[in-house]
Structure 1
Amino acid sequence: MLLQPDLIFELLLAGVGAGLLSGLLGIGGAMVLVPVLTFVLGHTGIAPESTVKMAVATSLATIMFTSMSSVRAHHRRGAVRWEIARVLAPGIVVGSIAGAQVAVALPAKLLGILFAIFIAFSATQMLLDRKPAAGRTIPGPVGTFGVGLVIGVLSALVGAGGAFVSVPFMTWCNVKIHEAVATSAALGFPIALAGTAGYIWAGRGLVQAPPGSVGYIFIPGLVIISLASMTLAPLGARIAHGMEIRPLKRIFAVGLYFISAYFLLR
C-alpha cells in the first residue's frame, strides 16, 4: 500500500508526540498512536476488529525504538535503576507474549472499561501524592515476577510501554519519580520485543492484512513513527530532568487520565 502524503504527515505527528511522551514520562505514547493508526488502517479495507488489533500491535512495536532512544538519555543522567529492571524483566517478557495472544482472542470493550478504571485510580493516587510507607521496598523474586507478569500482559493488551503500571508501582515502593520514569523507559524494550513477537505469531494467519504487514504489525507505520519518535525522545528526557518532582507527577497523572479516557471512548 502506498501511503498518501497526508497520512504520512499524520504518522509523523504521531511519532513526534510519542517520542516526547516517551522521554518525558517514560510511556510509549499509545494514547496518541493507537487512534492515529486505527484511522490510517481503517482505509485499507480490513475488518474493524483487526484494525484495532493492528493499531495496538504496531503501537507496541514502536516502543522497541522509542525506549532505546529515551533510555540512553536517562542512563547518561544515572537515573535508570537497572537492578529493578533486571528483576522485573523476566515476568514482563512472559506476560507480554501471553498478553498478545489474549488480545487477539478476546473482545476489547470490557477490558478497556476495566483498565480505564484501574488507570484512573492510579492517576488519582499520584495526584493525591500519598506517601508510601517508609520501609516499603521492591518485593522479592516471586513478587517481582508476578508484578512483571501483570505489567507485560496489560502492556500487550493496550499497546503501551507499561509505565501506567510500573511507575505507580515503583513510586509506591519508594523509588524516586525520576528514577521510576527512567526505569520504566528501560522496561519498555523487553515489553515491546516480546509483545511484538507475540502479535506476529498470533497474526500469522491474518487475512486482508494491508501490504507491508507482518502478522498484526503494520511495517510502514512502524518505520515512520519510530524515526520521528526516536528523534524527539531525548528532548523529552531533557525536559523531564529539568523539572521539579511534584509537577512531573502531576503531568504523569494527567497523562494517565487521558489514557483512561481513551479506553472508555474506544
Structure 2
Amino acid sequence: MDHSLGEQLIEALPLLLMMISTGLAGGILAGLLGVGGGIVIVPVMEVALGLVGVDPAIRMHVAVATSLSTIMVTSVSSAKAHHRKGAIDLDVTRLWAAPILIGSAAGVVVASQVSSGVLSLVFGGIAALVTLKMILPLDGKHITSAVPRGIVGMVPPAFVGLFSSMMGIGGGTLSVPAMTLMGQPIHRAVGTASLFGLLISVPATIGFILTGWGDPRLPAGSLGFVNAIGFLVITPATWVAAPWGAKLAHAMTPRHLSIAFGCFLAIVAARMLYRAALTL
C-alpha cells in the first residue's frame, strides 16, 4: 500500500466532514420543506464523488441512489415530527400511495438506462419549474379545490414517484407544489410529503441496488448504485436534524415558507443545468 491507514483517514476526513454537513443540511430541509433532504444530498454528493475520482458516467446514478437510501430513514423522522403536529393528510396518503410506488419503480428503470447528463437535466429542469411555482405570488390560486380522485387523480402522484426516483429526492419537491395547487395548505402539504418520501425511497433504493449490481466503475463500499459509506455517514445526521427543520417550518408563515423553498431550488436548478450543459 502506498499510504498508511492513518494517512488514508486524514485524506478521507474532508470528504467525511462534507458528508456529515450534507446530512445535517439535508435533515433540516427535510423537516422544513418536506423534501426528504435529497434536493441537497444529490448535488453535494455528486461533487464529493467527483473529488474522489468516481467515473462521471455513473456519478449521478450513485448520488441519486445513495440519496434515496438515506431518505428511507429521514422520511420516518420527519413524518413522525409532522404527525405529532397533525400535519399529515391520511386521506391524500391513501389516494396517492399506490401510484407513487408504481411511479417510483418505473423511475429506477428509466434512470438506469440514461446518462448522468440526462439525470442532471431532469433534476435541474424540474427544480427550475418548481422554483417558479413557489416564488411567484400564486398563494390562493388553485387548479382544483380538492385533490381529485379516480383515474385522473392517479396521474399526478405517478409522475411524482417517477421523477422523484430519477432525481433522488423524497417527493416533496414535486408533491408540495402539486398539493398546494389542489387546495392543500402549505404546512399540510409539507407534512404529507414527508410521508411520501418513504413510499418513494424504499422501492427505488432496492431497484438501484439491483440495476447497479456488479458495475466495475462503482466506488468502494457500494451495493449496486447505493454507496454504503455515504449512507452510514449521512443518515445519522439527517435523522438528528429533521425534527429541527419541522419545528422551524411551523414557526414560519406560509408565504415565507414558499419563498424559502423556491429560493433554495433556484440555486440547485442552476447548478444542475450547468452540469448537464457540460456533459450532454
Same topology, TM > 0.5? yes
Amino acid at match of 2:37: G
2: CA distance, partners of 1:137 / 1:109: 37
TM score, norm. by length of structure 2: 0.88
**Range that drifts further, 13-22 or 34-43:** 34-43
Query: Would you say the 8 A contact 1:15–1:226 is kept in 2?
Result: yes
User: What SS is found at the alignment partner of 2:112?
Assistant: helix
Structure 1 residues 227-242: aligned runs within 5 Å? 227-242=236-251
After superposition, the C-alpha distances for 1:93-124 in whole angstroms (9 at most, x for unaligned) are: 11111111211111243454455344323322
Residue of structure 1 in register with 2:135 after alignment:
127
Please give the alpha-carbon distance, in whole angstroms, between the structure 1 residues aligned to 2:204 and 2:268: 19
Residue of 65, 69, 76 corresponding to 2:73: 65
- Deviation of 1:151 (Å): 0.7
What are the equivalent positions in structure 2 for 1:28-47 lying under 5 Å apart?
28-42=36-50, 45-47=53-55
Question: Match for residue 217 of structure 2?
Answer: 208
Task: Structure 1: give runs of 5+ residues left out of the alignment.
Answer: none
Cα distance in 2 for residues equivalent to 1:35 and 1:114:
13
Q: Does 1:249 align with 2:258?
A: yes
**Counterpart of 2:204 in structure 1: which amino acid?**
G
Where do 1:160-239 residues align within 5 Å? Answer: 160-239=169-248
- The answer on whether the counterparts of 1:12 and 1:224 sit within 8 Å (CA) in structure 2 is yes
User: In the alignment, is the contact (CA less than 8 A) between 1:97 and 1:194 conserved in 2?
Assistant: yes
Find the counterpart in structure 1 of residue 107 from structure 2.
Answer: 99
Show structure 2 runs of 5+ residues with no match: 276-280
**Greater Rg, structure 1 or structure 2?**
2
* 3-state secondary structure, aligned to 1:42: helix
Greater CA drift, 73-82 or 33-42: 33-42
Q: Percent of aligned pairs with the same residue?
A: 36
Corresponding residue for 2:278? none
Change (3 A) 1:41 1:260: closer
After superposition, what is the alpha-carbon deviation per residue over 1:217-237, rounded to whole angstroms, capped at 9, x for unaligned?
Answer: 001110110100110100100
1:149 matched residue in structure 2: 158
Is the contact between residue 45 and residue 208 of structure 1 (CA under 8 Å) also seen in structure 2?
no
Structure 1 pair 6–112 and aligned structure 2 pair: CA distance change class (3 A) = closer
Distance, in Å, in 2 between the alignment partners of 1:159 and 1:133 is 27
**Equivalent AA in structure 2 for residue 15 of structure 1:** G
Q: How big is the shift at 1:158?
A: 1.0
Q: Which of residues 12, 19, 41 is equivalent to 2:20?
A: 12
Deviation at 1:162, TM superposition (A): 1.4
- Give 1:240 shift: 0.4
- Deviation readout 1:1-39 (Å, 9 max, x if unpaired): 976222211110000000000000111233432233223
Displacement over 6 Å in runs of 4+: none
Cα separation, 2, equivalents of 1:135 and 1:144: 11
Tell me if 1:265 matches 2:261. no
Contact 1:98–1:198 (CA under 8 A) maintained in structure 2: no
What whole-Å deviation, never above 9, does each CA across 1:234-262 have from its counterpart, x for those lacking one?
01000101111111111111122123223
Which residue among 25, 28, 39 is the counterpart of 2:33? 25
> RMSD over aligned Cα, in angstroms?
2.1
User: Distance between the aligned counterparts of 1:224 and 1:240, measured in 2?
Assistant: 25
Cα distance, 1:144–1:158 mapped onto 2, change above 3 Å: same
Counterparts of 1:43 and 1:112, CA distance in 2: 18
Q: Specify whether residues 165 and 97 from structure 1 end up closer, same or farther in structure 2 by C-alpha distance, changes over 3 A only.
A: same
Larger displacement relative to structure 2 (83-92 or 142-151)? 142-151
Superposed CA deviations along residues 143-166 of structure 1, whole A, max 9, x for unmatched, are 232212111111111111111210
Q: What's the counterpart of residue 51 of structure 1?
A: 59
